[in-house]
Each structure stands twice: as structure tokens, then as C-alpha cells.
Structure 1
Amino acid sequence: MSIIQSKAKNRKSKVELLPKDILDTLHQLLRDGKMQQIEIVDVVNKLIADKGLPEDQQLSKSGFNRYAQRMESIGQRIRQAREIAEVWTHKLGDAPVSDMGKLLQEGIRALAFETQMDMAEGKISADPKSLNQMALLSQRIEAAAMVSHKRETEIRKAFAVEVSEAAEKVATQAGLTAEGVAALKREILGIA
């Protein structure tokens, strides 16, 4: 990508340069879906003229169409992400939090792997900042996995202690010898 293409790609569109109140109105009209794009362009251009802004800030139909398509694409991805989250939340709603954490960790690992593959294949640039962010992401994923594993181990240990205490009471009431109770506790706690 040349420097000219890079600058053009980073330049804001006329729509993005609109004053906030006009941009808010434009977004509201887009979300409503009651007007056609050509009608929205006319309304927005009238607002621009009424505000006394220069004529070169008027929107073209093609420029607005590109912006509307981009907003629709972003909106579609957001809707898909919400639907996926809803499905998985519903499916895993009763699952322990650690399972949700594991699912998120695996999702992030997969995304990081795909990004690394795209970098290796030259689909996206592998600049030092991106590489540093990928390394930091990998480190954080592994740290989160370790914390989740430690928490899960602690929960299991606490549960085993509770179960062994309850078993001790029941075994003692049932007339099991002290040696038998101790053996039962060792078995439950996994002590050799």
C-alpha cells in the first residue's frame, strides 16, 4: 500500500466530518429505515445549508451510500455477535463461570491464531506494534487460564473438605471406627 493510499484510507469522509447534531440526525434516519437514502441525503443537505455551512460540505449520493453500506455492515456484525452471545449464553447459562471463561479463552486463542496466520500469509501487515500486542495477548490468555485453573482447584479442594467433614459425621454416627473414618476422609480428599 502506498503512502497516498494509506493517507486516503485514514481520511475521514464528509459524513464523519459533519457537526454532531447533523450526524446524530443522519444516524437516527438510517436506524429508522423509513426513508430512502436519497431522501436522507436531501434532508441532511438541507440541514447543512440551514446551518450556513459551506456548500462543499454537502453530501453526495455515492459518498453517503458508501457510508450507509459501511454502517450496515458494522450493524450486521454487531447483530451477529449479539445473536451468537445470546445462543451461547442460553446454552451455557447454567454452566459454571469457569466454563464460560474457558470458552472465552478458547475464542480469543482462535482469533489470535487466525490473526497470526493472516500476518504470516501477508494478508495483514506484521508491524512491531501488532507483534507486541499479540505477544501480550498470548501472555494474558495464559495468565487467565492459570488463574481459572487455580480457582477451580481451590473450589474442588474446598468441596472435598466439606464432603469429608459431612462423611465423617455420617460415618461416626453409623458406628464406623476412628480408623475407618480416617480412611474414608483420606479417600475423599485424595490423600495417599
Structure 2
Amino acid sequence: MPQVSSIDRLPADIKAQLQQLLQDPRCTQLDATAKINKVLEEEGYPDRVTKSSVNRYAQRMEEVGEKLRQSREVAQMYIAHVGAAPQGQTGLLINEMLRSMAFELSLKLQAVDLEDPENMSATIDQVKALALAVQRLEQSATINIKRENDIRKTALADAAAEVEKSANTLQIKPETLAYIKQVIYGLAS
């Protein structure tokens, strides 16, 4: 198994201090390394961080930050496209995005060396988790479609009831009322 980095072994409060230092544009990675090592020394921890481990961690955090920025941009683009769409459409959009991610993950799993027993075990666990996620995703899609259909039926029934309630006031003939209801329910040709 790969060794846990010195940054990941830091106590949570000291790691949070390192993250703050790395986010401060006035603080260089060398300064951050020195300050964190000073804190570790003052608190009696024997471990120290190296400038290369801080650099690797900063790069990893920048990659994560970039992915988050990209996902926010994509989400904003979809929201702008979908707008004030019903909840069902938003759910379908999220399901489609997750399906795409599951497909990409399955492609990556195919590239794993399965001759190594450790890789085999990890891959089996990942495939199980992926299968469960896809199953839940499909259930969610079915629920979203059912919810959307229920909302549509309720809206149509409400519209038909409103027309029927107004029929007497507007002096609508019964055959005209029947035709309007057929149009509302999409039965008119």
C-alpha cells in the first residue's frame, strides 16, 4: 500500500492552518512549510513537512479546486439552459450527469491490472459500488418520471376542474365544455 503523505498525517487543526496559508497569496509555499513545522514543533509533534510534500499537496488542492470551478460552471450552464424547469427535469439532468460519470469510471476500471490480488479485490469492491450506484440511479430516474407524470396529471385535472367551475358563469354549452376538457387532456384530434 502507498505510504500516507506527511500532510495527510497532520492533525486536522494544523492541516486547516496549512490550507489557510496556501490560500493566502502573500504566503509562499516555503513560508507555509516553515510556519507549519514551527507549529508542529511548538505542539510537540515529532513529524515535519517537507517543501516538496507541501508543493504536492498545494498542486492536488489546486486540481480539486479547478474541478470544482469547472463543475460549478457546467451546473450554471445547465441551470441557465433548463431555467426554472420542473424538479423532474432537473432530476433527469443530474441522473444523466451521474450516468456519464459512472461510464467514465467503468472505463477506468477496465484498465486496472487484475493479476495483482490487491487490485482484484479493490476492483471488485468498486464494481459492486458502481453497480449499486447505477441501480439507484435508474430507480431515481423512474421516480422522477413518475413524479413528473403525476404533476402533469394533477395540473390537467386542476385545469379541467377550473373550466368546469367557470362553465356556468361563462354560459358554455355542455358539448363545448366536453370538447375543452378533451383538449386539456390531449384527447381531441
On whether the aligned pair clears a TM of 0.5, the verdict is: yes
Match of 1:140 in 2: 136
Match of 2:10 in 1: 18
Q: CA deviation at 1:48?
A: 2.2
Distance in 2 (CA, whole Å) between partners of 1:26 and 1:102 is 39
The residue identity in structure 1 corresponding to 2:42 is D
Match of 1:111 in 2: 101
> 1:48-104 CA deviation, whole Å, 9 max, x = no partner?
2223333xx222222221122112222222222233323333443422211111110
Change (3 A) 1:112 1:53: closer
Contact kept in structure 2, 1:26 and 1:40, CA below 8 Å? yes
The alignment status of 1:150 with 2:146, answered yes or no, reads yes
Distance in 1 (CA, whole Å) between partners of 2:86 and 2:131 is 29
Distance in 2 (CA, whole Å) between partners of 1:58 and 1:121 is 36
Distance in 1 (CA, whole Å) between partners of 2:86 and 2:165 is 29
Q: CA deviation at 1:46?
A: 2.0
Instruction: Give the alignment partner of residue 67 of structure 1, picking from 54, 57, 63.
Output: 57
Structure 1 length normalisation: TM-score?
Answer: 0.79
Change (3 A) 1:123 1:76: farther
Q: Secondary structure at the match of 2:4?
A: coil
Q: CA deviation at 1:122?
A: 4.1
Match of 2:126 in 1: 130
Match of 2:70 in 1: 80
Q: CA deviation at 1:35?
A: 1.3
Q: Which runs of 5+ in 1 are unaligned?
A: 1-6
Structure 2 length normalisation: TM-score?
Answer: 0.80
The residue identity in structure 2 corresponding to 1:51 is E
* Higher mean C-alpha deviation, range 117-126 or range 98-107: 117-126
Change (3 A) 1:83 1:175: closer
Aligned residue-pair number? 182
Q: Which runs of 5+ in 2 are unaligned?
A: none
Contact kept in structure 2, 1:172 and 1:181, CA below 8 Å? no
Change (3 A) 1:156 1:20: closer
Contact kept in structure 2, 1:102 and 1:145, CA below 8 Å? yes
Same amino acid, percent of matched pairs: 34
Match of 2:23 in 1: 31
The residue identity in structure 1 corresponding to 2:150 is E
The alignment status of 1:95 with 2:85, answered yes or no, reads yes
**Structure 1 vs Structure 2 CA RMSD:** 2.6
Q: CA deviation at 1:173?
A: 4.2
* Higher mean C-alpha deviation, range 128-137 or range 90-99: 90-99
Q: Secondary structure at the match of 1:65?
A: helix
